[in-house]
Chain A
Amino acid sequence: EAGVTQFPSHSVIEKGQTVTLRCDPISGHDNLYWYRRVMGKEIKFLLHFVKESKQDESGMPNNRFLAERTGGTYSTLKVQPAELEDSGVYFCASSQAPRTSTSTDTQYFGPGTRLTVL
């Protein structure tokens, strides 16, 4: 079974440009998450999709970030325009079942996209 895949693995852009990151979750996983690790700090939650719906986007840093999940399959995260502080590693994760009040399922992470904004 294929794992979570992300594209590109590395992107170098200049300040003010636009970048789109893509994540393909594990087939059949309804939950899809985006996280970011900036400057060697902790990995922080950005947002959560259940199928094509945004369940929680409280971690999105500002309106320069736009996430979509077409048809509940792959997801894209667009940064427009990119700023220097957006540099970091963007991780995508997926999990199988919606969380319930008594359960916690396991998230599977992709390899990440390293974004460098010059």
Chain B
Amino acid sequence: GDSVTQMEGPVTLSEEAFLTINCTYTATGYPSLFWYVQYPGEGLQLLLKATKADDKGSNKGFEATYRKETTSFHLEKGSVQVSDSAVYFCALVNTGGFKTIFGAGTRLFVKA
């Protein structure tokens, strides 16, 4: 069945460092891909999404490109801030489907 694998955390970075959180997926068909973020004490928020191959999703300085050839959707940010400390979830929904399939989440700590 469909699945999402993302790098284990926690990831600890200093402020202004470059961030990459790896995400790969297995799916039949042509899924839409998502990154969700959960800040401390809050719910899940949609960070960005991409609905077809080679699409780039971006928001708040974060980017991820839908790579069908490598079945990947890695999250990147050029310069992280302390306020980016959160848990990040990679996820997919297959075409015409409704279940969101999540990865296990990666906790990011950014220190000043």
> How many residues in B have their beta carbons less than 8 Å from beta carbons of A?
27
CB distance from A101 to the nearest CB of B (A): 4
- Asked if B32 is an interface residue, CB under 8 A from chain A, the answer is yes
- Asked if A93 is an interface residue, CB under 8 A from chain B, the answer is yes
**Contact in complex: B43, A110 (CB < 8 Å):** yes
In the bound complex, what is the Cα–Cα distance between A40 and B102 (angstroms)? 12
Binding site for B on A (CB under 8 A): 4, 6, 31, 33, 35, 37, 40-45, 48, 55-56, 59, 91, 93, 95, 99-104, 106-112
Determine the residue in chain A with the shortest Cβ distance to B41.
A111
Apart from A6-B43, A42-B89, A100-B96, what 10 extra A-B contacts exist at CB < 8 Å? A42-B4, A42-B103, A43-B102, A45-B99, A55-B98, A93-B44, A101-B95, A104-B31, A109-B43, A112-B43
Q: Which chain A residues border B105 with CB–CB below 8 Å?
A: 37, 40, 42-43
